[in-house]
Chains A and B, each alone.
Chain A
Amino acid sequence: MSEKIHFFATPHRCTAAILPFDLEERLKHWASLRFKMVKHVHENFTRDEWAYLVAFLDEANLRKPFQESFGESVTGGPAQPAALLRPRGLIGIWLPNNVSLLGSLTLLLASFSGNPLRVKAGSGAGDLTAAFVDYAIQNLPDGKLADYLRQCVRIERFDRQDPRNHQMAAEAMVRVVFGSDQAVSAIHALPHPPNSMGISFGNHRSEAWVEKDALTDERLTNLIRVFAMYGQAGCTSPRRVVVLDGSDEDALALQKSLVRLWPKAVRADVPMHKASQNIMELQLALAQGWHATSAPRSGALVAAGRIGLPEPTGLMSLPVVSASLNEAVATLATNIQTIGHCLRDPHDPQWLGLIARTPAKRFVPIEAMHHFGPVWDGGNFWRQFFEEVELQS
């Protein structure tokens, strides 16, 4: 495998990375796949999932791991890099059942490390990662990326009791584990190389914080779209919307606006079983004291109420509550991942101080809540795909 040294620079530091591929060529090949993808939605993916993958393959987005980790790509080579990065070795990726795009997205990012990959897909559900890799192999131009996917990426389906879990843990230099906290701990507890890295993506939930003066129909429509993509099944989907420093009436007004805008934001009917579940959740929420309404055609449940009421837990249930900033912080889940915001001035320094007091891992505009990247769950996991060699002259 031919290797090439690439250089990256920030104003204060230069970094070299030895990669088993040419970065520009790899970017070009993914871009060519993207061009094909826009023409036809793969049958295994929803329209939203496919559109998200297409957006993720944007060249500027794919450059981000390098930019955020090492700086801008520079040609010719700077005089003195301060560090040399080299691929750490086999990456094992454990995916749970019913996972949406996380497998494909992690694989895409990992393809820019050049490390070989072994992916354990969930045993009981459709496997989007294998479907995406198969599609990519069939549609990529001949070259190193197609060869890499064919020869260096192995995707298998087995359950948590399968001995191949032990095998994977024993040989992987990086373990990336998605799943329940219990499943993540179980994988990291398997015998593994002492110098290997463990990356954990366990149970998390997210929510949206909004100020009523910052709300527009456009932003509310975006909020609905973000929620509707996965409902409560997405760890980056808002499990509740908090109207900061709002009143009960503000929560009710927001609920009404969301219901009014729902058909504009989500044009397709939910499947029949979800419509049925929404009727059930609506009645349970009403029984528990929420002011709950169904979105048209039973597309979702939107409930306004007070903090402290048992939260509706249905897949397509979106509770709206009003709270002071202190109440919002105090009632955050300990496993909070993303706070999606719709604020008058998100750059106001007060937010930094406030977020510092929370366990939140991301504070991003509502529209970016699902945007996966090299920094996730509190750290730059992508950088861990490399081993760093300190260089001094």
Chain B
Amino acid sequence: MTNLLASPPFAPRDDAGFLNGMDEICRWHLAGCPEYRRVWPDWSGATRLADLPFLHVGVFKRQLWKTAVPGITHQRTLRSSSTTQTSASMIALDGRSSALQGESSAAILKELVGDAMRPLVILDSAQSLRQRGEISARITAAMSLRFLASEIHFVLNDVEAEVGWDHLLPVLARHQRLLVYGFTWILWRAWATGQIPQPVRAALAQTEVHFVHSGGWKKLEAARVDRIQFDAALLATVGPASRVTDYYGLVEQVGVIFPLCEAGYYHVPRWAGVLVRDPWTLEPLADQPGLLQFMNILSWGAPYHSVLTEDLGRLLPGDCACKRCGQQFELLGRVPKAETRGCANV
């Protein structure tokens, strides 16, 4: 199973090895999670990814799933950011999976931002770390970059959720390269359109910054901000050779990062997989838009290794211009919601 992690994330895929790994992890959860077994009572094996068991992403909002097997110790619960009106997903983290997930995200992030150590500036508040027993998806995403951090600075203040530029100035005085992580809409609001004091602005103009963001575009789409505007606004604040990297990820696939390449497609690491399913029949779709399903061989503490999402996407056949190998997909937004009408007690 872990052999897949031994090669670079976007090296040529080992499809048979991945299917075997998924088969093993499915059997593991069927043996250790009674609720999961009740959902898939008749499953006995698969000869293709489309026949593997999966759970709908919404079930993680309604109950905490756990696989109780010797050797698995559940630790904290990871909670989604729940920026929309829906409730938060809950993922039971465990030591074994966390190690693999850390290894996975580090390998992918290295591929994206290089392995040079530099200060990591996180657009979040330090307060977010101080929750006992739980950890937010936002902080998990930010902290996945800590292996590249020579020092870490949380720069969003707790009260106004604005960047504390005063704290950034001494960091800029000491370093010419920075890594900055933020949720997409926070980066836009607090940095790209924030009021940057002149001394900070001047220092930033001399600094090479690599912005990394995730979390989705829903709020920015509502504000009619597209990727070109977003990148341009961020890069206008910093020095030459700065870059912006966007990736897609979801709390129910923690540890797996799907980077957006220069050609505009998201790429799947070799220890993960993606399927697109017809929303009504669940039949797998080769190149038509449908519901995205993600799989990975990292998640052993609860059956979130194969998750049908409510994100719409399309698989892209062939090779990508960016030269990464493996599966690639296009993200087409969320399943459209319509008004539900009924009686007074809706």
Question: Chain A interface (Cβ within 8 Å of chain B)?
Answer: 46, 49, 96-100, 102, 125-126, 128, 178-180, 201-205, 230-237, 269-273, 275-277, 279-280, 283-284, 286-289, 297-298, 315
| B224 on the A face (CB < 8 A) | no
A178, closest chain B residue (CB): B344
Task: Given A233-B342, A279-B308, verify A289-B335 contact (CB < 8 Å).
Answer: no
Question: Chain B interface (Cβ within 8 Å of chain A)?
Answer: 35-36, 38-39, 55-59, 62-63, 279-282, 291, 308, 310, 335-346
- Greatest chain A CB density within 10 A among B279, B282, B342 is at B342
CB atoms of A98 and B342 under 8 A apart: yes
A236, closest chain B residue (CB): B343
Task: Given A233-B341, A287-B39, verify A276-B335 contact (CB < 8 Å).
Answer: yes
**Considering the chains assembled together, what is the distance between the CA atoms of A279 and B293 in angstroms?**
13
CB atoms of B56 and A126 under 8 A apart: no
B337, closest chain A residue (CB): A273
CB atoms of B38 and A235 under 8 A apart: no
Residues of B within 8 A of A97 (CB): 346
**Which listed residue (B281, B339, B342) contacts A235, Cβ 8 A?**
B342
Task: Given A179-B344, A180-B345, A202-B344, verify A271-B39 contact (CB < 8 Å).
Answer: no
CB atoms of B337 and A230 under 8 A apart: no
- Greatest chain A CB density within 10 A among B58, B291, B340, B343 is at B343
Residues of B within 8 A of A125 (CB): 339, 341
B338, closest chain A residue (CB): A271
CB atoms of B336 and A96 under 8 A apart: no
Residues of B within 8 A of A203 (CB): 344-345
CB atoms of B63 and A100 under 8 A apart: no
CB atoms of A273 and B56 under 8 A apart: no
**Could you list 26 examples of A-B contacts with CB < 8 Å?**
A46-B341, A49-B341, A96-B344, A97-B346, A99-B342, A100-B341, A100-B342, A125-B341, A179-B344, A180-B344, A204-B343, A233-B342, A233-B343, A233-B346, A234-B342, A234-B343, A237-B342, A271-B338, A276-B279, A276-B335, A277-B58, A279-B282, A280-B62, A284-B62, A287-B35, A287-B63
CB atoms of A286 and B344 under 8 A apart: no
B277, closest chain A residue (CB): A279
**Considering the chains assembled together, what is the distance between the CA atoms of A297 and B341 in angstroms?**
21
**Which listed residue (A100, A201, A273) contacts B338, Cβ 8 A?**
A273
CB atoms of B343 and A102 under 8 A apart: yes
Residues of B within 8 A of A287 (CB): 35-36, 38-39, 59, 63
**Which listed residue (A49, A205, A283) contacts B56, Cβ 8 A?**
A283
**Considering the chains assembled together, what is the distance between the CA atoms of A273 and B58 in angstroms?**
12
CB atoms of B38 and A286 under 8 A apart: yes
In order of increasing CB-CB distance, the 4 nearest A-B pairs are: A233-B342, A235-B343, A280-B58, A287-B35
Residues of A within 8 A of B63 (CB): 284, 287
**Which listed residue (A98, A280, A284, A286) contacts B346, Cβ 8 A?**
A98
**Considering the chains assembled together, what is the distance between the CA atoms of A283 and B39 in angstroms?**
6
Output the least CB separation between B35 and chain A (Å): 4
* Beyond A99-B344, A287-B59, 14 additional pairs, beta carbon < 8 A: A46-B341, A97-B346, A98-B340, A128-B341, A202-B344, A205-B345, A230-B343, A272-B280, A273-B336, A283-B39, A283-B56, A284-B59, A297-B281, A298-B281
CB atoms of A280 and B280 under 8 A apart: no
- Greatest chain A CB density within 10 A among B280, B344, B345 is at B344
- Greatest chain A CB density within 10 A among B38, B335, B341 is at B341
CB atoms of A298 and B282 under 8 A apart: yes
Residues of B within 8 A of A232 (CB): 342
**Which listed residue (A49, A99, A276, A289) contacts B343, Cβ 8 A?**
A99
Task: Given A230-B343, A286-B38, verify A275-B280 contact (CB < 8 Å).
Answer: yes
A232, closest chain B residue (CB): B342
Residues of A within 8 A of B58 (CB): 276-277, 280
Residues of A within 8 A of B56 (CB): 276, 279-280, 283
**Considering the chains assembled together, what is the distance between the CA atoms of A102 and B280 in angstroms?**
31
CB atoms of B280 and A100 under 8 A apart: no
**Considering the chains assembled together, what is the distance between the CA atoms of A288 and B281 in angstroms?**
23
Residues of A within 8 A of B281 (CB): 297-298
Residues of B within 8 A of A270 (CB): 280
Output the least CB separation between B189 and chain A (Å): 25
Residues of B within 8 A of A49 (CB): 341
CB atoms of B59 and A272 under 8 A apart: no
Residues of B within 8 A of A99 (CB): 341-344, 346
Output the least CB separation between A91 and chain B (Å): 17
